[in-house]
Amino acid sequence: MCGIVGAVAERNILPVLVEGLKRLEYRGYDSAGVALLDGDGTLQRVRRPGKVSELEQALATAPLNGRLGIAHTRWATHGVPSERNAHPHFSGNDLALVHNGIIENHEPLRARLKDMGYLFTSETDTEVIVHLLHHHLDALGDLADALKATVKELHGAYGLAVISAKQPDRLLATRSGSPLVIGLGLGENFLASDQLALRQVTDRFMYLEEGDIAEIRRDSVQVWDLDGQPVQREQVQYHEGAEAADKGAYRHFMLKEIHEQPKVVQRTLEGRLGLDHVLVEAFGPQAGALLAKVRNVQIVACGTSYHAGMVARYWLEELAGIPCQIEVASEFRYRKVVVQPDTLFVSISQSGETADTLAALRNAKQLAPGAGGYLASLAICNVGTSSLVRESDLTLLTQAGPEIGVASTKAFTTQLVALLLLTLALGRMRGGLSATVEAELVDELRRLPTRLGEALGMDKTVEKVAELFAEKHHTLFLGRGAQYPVAMEGALKLKEISYIHAEAYPAGELKHGPLALVDSDMPVVTVAPNNELVEKLKSNLQEVRARGGQLVVFADIEAGIDNGEGTHVVSMPHIHDILAPILYTLPLQLLSYYVAVLKGTDVDQPRNLAKSVTVE
């Protein structure tokens, strides 16, 4: 979604801002802009609908130069993607502001500001903030004081960065419900909505907390908390290699990230496996005592992370004997829930900033334990510094590294690994899992990176199969048991990046509707590990073939499913059934990738989608 970059330095910071915007492109956006304070003390601005490259072209013909500036990529919510709706927004000629998030009370504020004489030039909710700030600045004189007064009147979510021509030595920032991080340099400081934007200039960061206001100067940073009290926020050194934001030899980030899975799964396992059991300490110092009390699990997530949670439900009930409920966060957050005693609330998120998932966690935390509330909250997340992690009692970090492709791949498989670790830990503590089964699965987990590497060896075979889909408009994905969510994830990947309509069904539901759609124009994709459901699945496949449907089956080499007319089988290495959802995800990712390449779509930044959905 939207991205913010800001800088205050003694050099021309335009290249830093533009490079920062490029690094945020993966989040999804539809316009971009930059505002700088030039040498004459005048605010200059360039904005363009479309890609950052279009902004760059505009800047090439009319270059800006300045030592203080803010920049933004906008994902349209209020008002179409256009130059006048793009950020930065101005009030008069001396105040510029960029905003991530949504201001819910923008209509009454707009009416009030219009009555005061402010002229609006955009349809955005953001423009009310900059005029309101202007109004308070006139009265208070100091930018930080004016910003404190302004945010008191805002309802909604925001990450804001502000510069003023009248106070040319500082950059102001504040956040509530939308992340912001300060990048600390030598004699220069930076701001961004995601540290990735600033990895080119620093590896030292300071994360703003909810409600913080920061005044950033070249050589100092002052932060006030929600109550207006000065606070010190911790400085964090970021260790992930800068190469993460580089495609290397791969044509797309998505392909690179698919191929990284053996390595990142290995990393996610590191330090978490004893000889024959999962190390509960990996979940945090208080984890042992808390997890021992868990009798139920409630999982909440969105998108791909939700599918990971769906797989976990099968595991938790089968292996640990623990009842598990799972729900998409956007539904959960608005529903009155009945909480079973001793329920662990688990949120799953790649970014840790997804608005609905965060809201669900916050709602869950408001219910007191013992009075119908949750026992504790656990975040399974890929970003250690995210809001979700900071606000949860326990954390299990996935170690996928930055994921740039909008369509999630390595984040999903590392979430599955983390959830299986959780299942094994809970299973042992609740007595639902025998030591022998735990030891067997720990052993299988150790071998998993190698198995994933083998599965990726099928790359070229899957590329060939993808040709079957390039001209099609609809597809059906089938799976049974824990492979049903894998089929859902496969369908989601295909629709996200190739724009082909794809639906997933539990194979047993085929006869209850979707079979009516099956003909030679609607390929049916199935995942078929060799388990107790494989014979039933074979019957479902016959039902498809009898209607002239083309089958693509990713089948265990021992499953007894063979190539034939209208049936294209891709053989998969044999794997323990519990780990099969992780392995079978890989060919489905490759399939959607190659279909998208054949169709020529924007693989890493599919239309209308955002990497991190930080607004509702």
The residues of the shown chain that bind ligand G6P, judged by CB under 6 A, are 302-305, 349-351, 354, 357, 406, 408, 609-613
Q: Which helix (H) or strand (E) holds 434?
A: none
Backbone angles phi, psi at 335, to 5 degrees: -120, 145
For 601, the 3-state DSSP assignment is coil
The residue type of 144 is A
Name which of 208 and 406 has its Cβ closer to ligand G6P: 406
Name the token pair of 469.
Answer: 């889909």
- Minimum Å gap between C-beta 354 and ligand G6P is 3
Q: How far apart are CA 254 and CA 463, in angstroms?
A: 14
Cα(227)–Cα(211) distance, integer angstroms: 8
- Report the residue number, 354 or 540, with the smaller CB distance to ligand G6P: 354
Closest CB 399 distance from ligand G6P, rounded Å = 15
Do the beta carbons of residue 174 and residue 215 sit within 8 Å?
A: no
Closer residue to ligand G6P, CB minimum distance, 417 or 528: 417
Sequence-separated (6 or more) residues with CB below 8 Å from residue 464: none
Phi-psi region of 599 (alpha: psi -120 to 50; beta: other; left: phi over 0): alpha
Measured CA to CA, the distance from residue 262 to residue 452 in angstroms comes to 6
254 phi and psi angles, rounded to 5 deg:
-60, -45
Alpha helices for 47-105 (secondary structure H): 52-61
Given 2, 302, 324, 381, the catalytic residue:
2
- Tell me which DSSP letter residue 251 carries: S
> What is the nearest approach in angstroms of ligand G6P to the Cβ of residue 1?
9
Nearest distance from C-beta of residue 459 to ligand G6P, angstroms: 22
Q: Which amino acid is at 115?
A: D
Closest separation in Å from C-beta 605 to ligand G6P: 10
- 2 a catalytic residue: yes
- Residues 266, 488: Cα–Cα separation, whole Å: 25
Q: How far is it, in rounded angstroms, from Cα 533 to Cα 395?
A: 34
- Report the SS3 class of residue 413: helix
Rounded least distance, CB 353 to ligand G6P, Å: 7
Structure tokens at 112: 């009030």
The residues near 572 (Cβ < 8 Å, ≥ 6 apart) are 455, 458, 529, 554, 555, 556, 557, 583, 584, 587
Residue 325 bridge partners (DSSP): 298
DSSP 426: H
* Of 498, 502, 523, 524, residue with least CA distance to 590: 498
Burial 122-143 (b: 16+ CB within 10 A, else e): bebbbbbbbbbbbbbbeeeeeb
Closest contact distance (angstroms) between CB of 108 and ligand G6P is: 31
Within 10 Å of residue 12's Cβ, how many Cβ atoms? 18
Those residues whose C-beta lies under 8 Å from the C-beta of residue 467, and which sit 6 or more positions away, are 598
Report in angstroms how near the CB of residue 408 gets to ligand G6P at its nearest.
4
Q: Report the residue number, 129 or 311, with the smaller CB distance to ligand G6P.
A: 311
Q: Tell me, yes or no, if 611 is annotated catalytic.
A: yes
Minimum gap (Å) between residue 257 Cβ and ligand G6P? 11
Nearer to ligand G6P, 298 or 305 (CB): 305
Nearer to ligand G6P, 73 or 408 (CB): 408
What's the number of CA atoms in the CB half-sphere (13 Å) around residue 529? 24
Residue number with the smallest Cβ distance to ligand G6P: 303
Q: Which is nearer to ligand G6P, 349 or 540 (CB)?
A: 349
Catalytic residue among 51, 256, 493, 611: 611
Nearer Cβ to ligand G6P, position 190 or 593? 593
Q: How far is the CB of 297 from ligand G6P (least distance, A)?
A: 18
From the list 409, 428, 416, 470, the residue with the least C-alpha distance to 604 is: 409
Residue 572 pairs in a beta bridge with: 556
Based on CB atoms, which residue is closest to ligand G6P, 29 or 190? 29
Taking the least distance from each CB to ligand G6P, the nearer of 479 and 606 is 606
Q: Would you name the residues annotated as active-site residues?
A: 2, 611
